[in-house]
Structure 1
């Protein structure tokens, strides 16, 4: 596929379900935002932070109809609270009844990518997801959030391997909203409103 912006050849990223132009960083997605594998519903509100990859404003969205994230509509990556991420992976891997995805080797070049946390602007840790699937994610331990690229969650859910037992609970539960909102404790405070508090305000 040829990029419509710079006319260079686009690269198909099979485990991310999109084409990407490495020359001008344009994306062409193989599915819509409501793709059942990783459905996202735009809420049309802006949290006041920017995408760490595209540097365009993020906006709130609902993931799988339940979990609030900060979405980049350009690259479709998003910020999610780490406890929520652990919970949704547990729930969706437990409920998934489709065929396991074919294992895909991890691209070691992904480990070289450096992103800054959209909230505190400090460098995020780039590391493999320590669970099923060959996925590299970015996380900020200070802010308690993670950045996932498009379809990385779908790859984790569909990856082969042991699945949680029915009725079991995640090891790391989602953090309650009441833990946040105090300026001296919350590094995600923006203009008197906690971004993490808004992410968890379901």
Structure 2
């Protein structure tokens, strides 16, 4: 049966399985009555091919499940090494590199562990190795965060080019004051401000 190749979904096929796979692809591209059932029934060769295709499909499904189990085991092993730091530094770094090769996105716990390991006393070569691994994990973690932000509705990353702001509407020019009509006389101050009339006393006051 196909075997999982790593934890990234790859598979390794044997020579017999590859022959069956090639026949299945050829039948899918150029269907015949043996594989499509266009005639009244299958002959012996067609029925055998169908059985081989079904067995191969089941084997591929099982290999995919096994690949998922391997990935889960790898991540659990990485967590165990991380919890045992700093004594398990060598094993943790090896497991982390293997997980990164398999498509693992480092977590904040991995970044914190790497920063603590970089602060320890070690030789120049080991310090450079740990620092390089830390820089790689930081870049992968940042890329993963940006990808999740872009996937959100209306998500936008800070350093992405922002749309140019729309210019504010210009105010309408003020209309010039109207000139006085030459045929209309200029009103006098008395017409503009008429004199106030004196209040008329009530009738009772006049009879007195």
Mark yes or no: TM-score above 0.5.
no
TM-score, length of structure 1 as denominator length:
0.22
Say which structure, 1 or 2, has more relative contact order (CA 8 Å, 6+ apart). Answer: 1
Higher helix residue share: 2
TM-score, length of structure 2 as denominator length:
0.22
Higher strand residue share: 1
